[in-house]
Every structure is written in C-alpha cells, then in structure tokens.
Amino acid sequence: MPIDKEALREKYAEERAKRIRPDGNDQYIEFKGQLSHYLADPYTPFVEREPKRDHVTFAFIGGGFAGLVVGAKLKDAGISDVRIIEKGGDFGGTWYWNRYPGAQCDTASMIYMPLLEELGHVPTEKYAHGAEILEHSRNIGKKYGLYENALFHTEVTGLEWDESAHRWTVRTNRGDAFTAQFVGMGTGPLHVPKLPGIPGIESFKGHSFHTSRWDYAYTGGDANGAPMEKLADKRVAIIGTGATSVQCVPHLARTAMKLYVFQRTPSSVDVRDNEPIDPTWFRNIASPGWQERWYENFVGNQSPTPPDEDFVQDGWTEISRRIRSKVADLPREEMTPETVLAAFEDADFEKMEEIRARVDTIVEDRETAQNLKAWYRQLCKRPCFHDEYLQSFNNPNVELVDTGGKGVERITGKGLVVAGTEYEADCIIYASGFEVGTEYKRRAGFDMEGRGGVKLSQHWADGMRTKHGIHVHGFPNAFIVQPTQGANLISNIPHNIVDSAKTIAQVVTHARDVKADEVEVTKEAEEAWVELLLTGMGLIIGSQECTPGYYNNEGHAPGPAARLNVGYPSGAKAYFEYIEEWRQAGAYEGLEFR
C-alpha cells in the first residue's frame, strides 16, 4: 500500500504538539539536597587519601574512553606521567556508571570498542555487553599503566592557567591542588543523570534509583546478567522508554512480580540481530591495521561515496544505505537540495512504517501495540535496536502505562498517578536520562580559566569556538575531546576520540621536541575554522519539527549559540582525511609553539 505522506506528517505534528511543554529543559530537576543520595556510587567503596600537591606533564579530566585513549597514545609517545582524574571509582566512564541489566553497545563492537587491536581483544559478540566493555576499559588502564597516577572518586572543581609558570593548576573536591603542563578534557556528553520534576517525587516511601546507579543489592542479580531474583515479590515501576529502558526492561520483565513501564514517548525499536563473534572469522579479517580499516569503512558508509563493501553492517550503516539508495534513485537532472531532502524523508517514512509494522507482528495486545508505535522521524530521537523489548509486553506481569505524551502526573507515598489512576509500586526506577541542554559549566562542575583569567564560558558565550573541536584560543596547552566542530560523527563516538587522541599525542610530542612551554591555537586560525564550519548545512539532527527530546532542546528554539554545534562541512569522512593530512604535514597549521 502506498504511504500517505501527508497523513503521516499530520500525525507526527499532532503527536509532537501533545508533548511540547513550556518549561522545556526546566522540567528536569537536579539531584540536590534530599535527592543527592541518588548520585552515590554503588559500585566502589570510597578510599581516603592525601591531597596531591605535585606536578604532572599531562592531566586528563574523565576516565572514560576519551581519557583512556588519550592516555594510551601519550604513553606510546613516551609521556610517562599522565594523570587521569575521574569522579567514578574506576575507569570506564559511561560503562562504569551504566551497569543496568542488559547494557550493551548499539554500534558494532568491532568499531565501538577502542584499541581492540592494541589489546589483542576479540569482542565476544557483534554488540558486546556492558560488563565486557567495562573490563576492556580497565584493561586499557592496566596495559598503559594509567592506574598508577589516576585519581578516582575525584571531581575537578577548578582549572586555572598560570601565565608565569606556563602550566595549569588543577583543584579538586578532594583538596588536591597540583599542576600540569598540559590538560585534556573528556567528560562526555551524558554523565549527569537527571530526574523528571514530577510533583511529589520526594514523597515516595518505597525504594528508588536511577538506571546509572543500579542497585543490585535491592534487585539481586548482577551486571553480568544473573537474574534479579529479589524482585520476585516486588512491584517495579520504570519511568522512561529511551535507549536505556529498552535494554533493561526485558530483564526486569523476566523477574519482577509486576512491572509497570511508564511511557511518555515510545522509542523506535528496530531489529538487533546480535550474534557471537566467531574467532576463526575474526582471525581471517584481523591483519595489522584492521581496526583503522573498519573505522574508515564505517565512516565511508556514512558518506555519499561509500566503499563497495560494508564491513560493519549494523543499524547505522543500514540507515545510511537506505537514505543513499533513495537519493541515488533520483535522476541526475532532478538532483537539488529540495529533492535530496524529500528522498531522505521518503526513506524515513518507509523505515518508520516498517518499525511500526514490526510492533504489530510482535506485541499481542492491540492497544499496547498501538501505544508502542513511534510517530516521528527516525533520527528525531535516538534509534533503538532490540529483539526482546517489544516481546516483554506479552508477559502477563508486564503492563505498559502510556501517559498520552504527558508523562507521569504525580508520585505519591505509595506509587505513581496517571490519568487519575494510582499504580502502587515497591520500587521506582528512573530511566530518565542525562542532562544535555544545561550549561556546560553546570555539567562539568568547573569553569576553566585561561589566559588573563578569561573563563571558557565567557569565551564561548556566543557559542563554542575551537579549531578542530580540540584547541581553544586563550587556553594554551589544553585539549578538548568530543565530536563537535570536528568529525561530529555521532553514530560512533569512539572513532572521534581515537582520532583526537592521535592529534593530541602528536602535538604534545612536537611541543616537547621543539622545547616549547606552550602550544596555542591562534585567534585567526580559530576564527577561520569557525567561519568554515558555518559554511556547512548546519545541524543534521535536532530539527524543530521533531517530537521534543534532548536532540532538539526539548522542542524549543535553540539559542543562537547552537548554530556552532556543527561538524566539518564536508562530513565526517572528509574531516578524518583532512586531519590525517594536517597531522602528516607536520606544520601544525594554526597552532603556535612558544
């Protein structure tokens, strides 16, 4: 049957309108005061230590993939005193905190897990589970000697440039005040959990926790997938149906006496098709340089000129392939920006119709199936992939409580209220996500102070300004690791990290070789890079027409600063080619070594 595009557009707009709220990001509340216990680390005991007052060559904030990979590349370059400062009790970043049952990468492990080749690790599954990824993170820390100098359970509170000493002073919540010639920041985009500001949230008398602080002591089971047998006599309510909830609901469904899934907006849930990695197959493909070739192949598949073969074949390369083939069907003479966007929309309508049809083939109860269908374009929200989530709603103990786009109305001492009905629960699990739209300094917990005492928030008052997304004028010897203003490859963040780590290690090595105390991007080079970024098409996700969420500032118009949250105009593949040439040239165009 042909797709009625106009009817779908209307339906999408109607569903969006139900969800738009005047309070936008302010609907979420911080874990402060009475709620701060939610943030406690359930995984690692706190150990007292003396404050550090020494000096290191390189201090890196964040012990997730960014800190680990930068640390590894620096060690390879012969920088022996690298100190990683991490608020968690161990390395792993997002994989340290997110140990909820079923946690699993959504991008194929072969390209998601960094430094596989260097560690000689063969992922066990096409999409590895969290415990393996956390273990891999620890193994990177061990192999590169990054544990020796690391400060865990430590949060940076201040970072100040000391002009005369050409070094940074790093202050922390553990009383440390040490210096570093270079600093790096890789705090990740999703590390501050948020709670929905549901009236009465503090009055709940039962147990509750956020998915990023899973309480296995309460649920039983463990992060390796052991069943949560302590839930056998519990009524569990989970709030949220994003990527986290999609992965943990099947596990809760298996063991809880009763599971209520409170939904405001359904996720799009496509096929997962996970499978074990066959070591023989792996040996055949794993000739030296294999992971780099896979990175190139993946990013090539996201570009308009893909390689002949798709090595990765995951959900993301499938999305690109579909869009590309629709665009390729356009007769050459009809190829305009408008027809390309229309072809993109057609590919999207087809995909989303398939995803909605999949719900009907899996979910037995008609009303539940209808409520689980996502009415928006696939990239409006984080696409999900799972082969057990929708199936969970066929279990007699599982009940979807659809809130018609309005969210949970109220929380009482005994449970949750939706449309006037109270659902009693023993435990509430908040799968409510992480802060994204809030100010960077609130999320980071500090505001870096560069040359002349200028704060990073001041330098970026009108939007982020960098060269390559890494170097910032006025902040010498400092490096930022994140995808924006570089490749902006969001379907495989680790590739951005690995590439930035190469740049940083090479720049630091060069500074050492030429005996420079400082390296800094010039004002002109930063301006030129920003100008170049502004020649691009702008944001590819986060359209205002989308249903609200963190991709589009909860549906509110983005501030003027958002126009700079973009990547290299010619795309991720072109960026990686460009930066490789920039590194190879060895001229470090735009940087000044003094």
Q: Are 80 and 508 in contact (CB under 8 A)?
A: no
* Contact code string over 549-578 relative to ligand NDP, x by CB under 6 A: xx----------------------------
Which residues partner with 180 through β-bridges? 56, 168
Q: How far apart are CA 302 and CA 317, in angstroms?
A: 7
Which residues partner with 429 through β-bridges? 209, 238
3-state SS assignment for residue 338:
helix
**Minimum CB distance to ligand NDP smaller for 216 or for 578:** 216
Least distance between ligand NDP and beta carbon 24 (Å): 11
486 binds ligand NDP (CB under 6 A): no
Q: How far apart are CA 442 and CA 27, in angstroms?
A: 16
Stretch that binds ligand NDP, among 50-58, 136-144, 234-242, 532-540 (CB under 6 A): 234-242
187 binds ligand NDP (CB under 6 A): no
**Minimum CB distance to ligand NDP smaller for 167 or for 382:** 382
Least distance between ligand NDP and beta carbon 128 (Å): 10
Binding residue (CB under 6 A) for ligand NDP from 242, 250, 450, 571: 242
**Minimum CB distance to ligand NDP smaller for 247 or for 477:** 247
Helix (H) or strand (E) holding 479: strand 478-480
Stretch that binds ligand NDP, among 74-82, 180-188, 237-245, 340-348 (CB under 6 A): 237-245
Give Dmax over CA atoms of the chain in angstroms.
72
Site residues (CB under 6 A) for ligand NDP, limited to 2-21: 19
546 binds ligand NDP (CB under 6 A): no
**Minimum CB distance to ligand NDP smaller for 99 or for 467:** 99
* Contact code string over 401-440 relative to ligand NDP, x by CB under 6 A: --x---xx----------------------xxxx------
**Minimum CB distance to ligand NDP smaller for 59 or for 380:** 380
**Minimum CB distance to ligand NDP smaller for 176 or for 435:** 435
**Minimum CB distance to ligand NDP smaller for 200 or for 227:** 200
First to last CA, the chain: 67
**Minimum CB distance to ligand NDP smaller for 320 or for 432:** 432
Judged by CB under 6 A, the number of residues near ligand NDP is: 28
* Contact code string over 82-111 relative to ligand NDP, x by CB under 6 A: ----------------------xxx-----
* CB burial string 410-448: b at 16+ within 10 A, e below: ebbeebbbbeeeebebbbbbbbbbbbbbeeeeebbbbbb
Q: CB count, 10 Å around CB of 581?
A: 9
Q: What angle do CA 514, 517, 520 make, to 5 degrees?
A: 95
190 binds ligand NDP (CB under 6 A): yes
User: How is residue 158 annotated by DSSP?
Assistant: E
240 binds ligand NDP (CB under 6 A): yes
Task: Please report the beta strands in 335-443, taking only residues with DSSP state E, as ranges in sequence order.
Answer: 384-385, 398-402, 410-411, 415-418, 421-424, 427-430
Q: How far apart are CA 552 and CA 571, in angstroms?
A: 20
Site residues (CB under 6 A) for ligand NDP, limited to 368-407: 382, 403, 407
**Minimum CB distance to ligand NDP smaller for 149 or for 245:** 245
Residues 6 or more apart whose CB falls under 8 angstroms from that of 559 comprise none
Q: What is the three-state SS of 12-71?
A: HHHHHHHHCCCCHHHHEECCCHHHHHHHCCCCCCCCCCCCCCCEEEEEEECCCHHHHHHH
User: How is residue 452 annotated by DSSP?
Assistant: G
Q: Which residues here bind ligand NDP, judged by CB under 6 A?
A: 19, 104-106, 190, 196, 198, 239-245, 247, 262, 264-265, 382, 403, 407-408, 431-434, 549-550
